[in-house]
Amino acid sequence: MQNERINIAVIGASGYTGADLIRLAIRHPNIAIKSLVAKTHAGQSAGAVFPHFHGFGLPNMVDVSEVDWDQIDAVFCGLPHGAAHEIIAKLPVHLKIIDMSADFRLRDPETYQTWYGAPHGATELLKQAVYGLSEHYREAIKAARLTACPGCYPTATLLALLPLVKAGMIDTADLIIDAKSGVSGAGRGLKQNTLFCEAGEGLSPYGVANHRHAPEIEQELARASGRQVTVNFTPHLAPMSRGELVTCYLRLNEGIGADDLRMRLRDAYTEAPFVEVLNEGLIPATQHVRGSNYCRIAVFADRIPGRAIVISTLDNLVKGSAGQALQNFNLMFGFDETTGLTQLPLFP
Give the model's pLDDT for residue 3.
Answer: 76
Give the model's pLDDT for residue 39.
Answer: 87
State the chain's mean pLDDT as an integer.
96
Mean pLDDT of 312-319: 98
Closest CA to 186 of 239, 237, 149: 237
What pLDDT digit, counting tens, does each position of 130-177 carry?
Answer: 999 999 999 999 999 999 999 999 999 999 999 999 999 999 999 999
Give the model's pLDDT for residue 199.
Answer: 86
Check 152, 197, 248, 295 and give the catalytic one. 152
Give the model's pLDDT for residue 2.
Answer: 66
- Kindly report which listed range (19-28, 39-48, 267-276, 332-341) carries the lowest average pLDDT score: 39-48
This prediction has a pTM of: 0.96
First-to-final CA distance of the chain: 37
Is 77 catalytic? The answer is no
Cβ(156)–Cβ(323) under 8 Å?
Answer: no
What pLDDT digit, counting tens, does each position of 272-314 carry?
Answer: 999 999 999 999 999 999 999 999 999 999 999 999 999 999 9
Give the Cβ contact number of residue 195 at 10 Å: 11
Residue ranges and CATH numbers for the domains of the chain are 6-128 (3.40.50.720), 153-316 (3.30.360.10)
Give the model's pLDDT for residue 1.
Answer: 56
Q: Tell me the C-alpha to C-alpha distance, in Å, between residue 172 and each of 152, 231, 306.
A: 21, 8, 14
Amino acid at 130: V
Closest CA to 159 of 286, 78, 277: 277
